[in-house]
Structure 1
Amino acid sequence: MGLDDLVNKGKDLYEQNKDKVDEALKSDQAEDISDKVLGGVADFAKKVLPDSVDGKIDEVRDNLDGAVGNER
């Protein structure tokens, strides 16, 4: 089985379960997990990058967080 076959099977699986995947991505649990992960990544980035980019880090975190979970 080649890489193209695996990609196509993944696409097919997603299409067959699209409603369930979308529901899971918009759940309370997904919101909690995404908040913790994105918050941790943002905090780490703020520690290693110059303070001048803190606002951009927050903006990126907020945009990503809006795509996962059930809160905006």
Structure 2
Amino acid sequence: MGIDDLAAKAKSALAEHGDKVSDGLEKAAEFVKSKTPDSVDAKIDSGVDSAQEYIAKQQQA
């Protein structure tokens, strides 16, 4: 199994279970924000937003 096979499986999983992954990202972000200074909240939110946009694109593909 090569890297292309792994990438295809990951994209397939995102297409099928993207909503669960997105929910997990939200929960993880809230946990990280509870453990870090408020000054990094915007960066965490930005990273989660970017990841969720990518997931949404994979679900449409």
Please give the range of the TM-score, normalised by the shorter of the 2 chains.
0.5 to 0.7
Which residue, out of 2, 14, 26, partners 2:5?
14
- Structure 1: unaligned runs, 5 residues or longer: 1-9
Q: What does the per-residue CA deviation read over 1:5-56, in whole Å, with 9 as the maximum and x for residues that have no partner?
A: xxxxx217717xx3x65344223xx221112110011000110000011110
* TM-score (norm: length of structure 2): 0.68
Which residue, out of 18, 21, 36, partners 2:23?
36
Which protein is richer in helix relative to its size? Answer: 2
Cα distance, 1:68 vs structure 2: 2.1
Instruction: Name the residue aligned to 1:25.
Output: 14
* TM-score (norm: length of structure 1): 0.60
Secondary structure at the aligned position of 1:26 is classed as helix
Q: Give the partner amino acid of 2:14.
A: L
The number of residues matched between the two structures is: 57
Could you say which structure has the larger radius of gyration?
Answer: 1
RMSD of equivalent CA atoms? 2.6
% same residue: 30
Identify the structure with bigger relative contact order (alpha carbons < 8 Å, sequence gap 6+): 2
Query: Would you say the 8 A contact 2:14–2:21 is kept in 1?
Result: no
- Structure 2: unaligned runs, 5 residues or longer: none
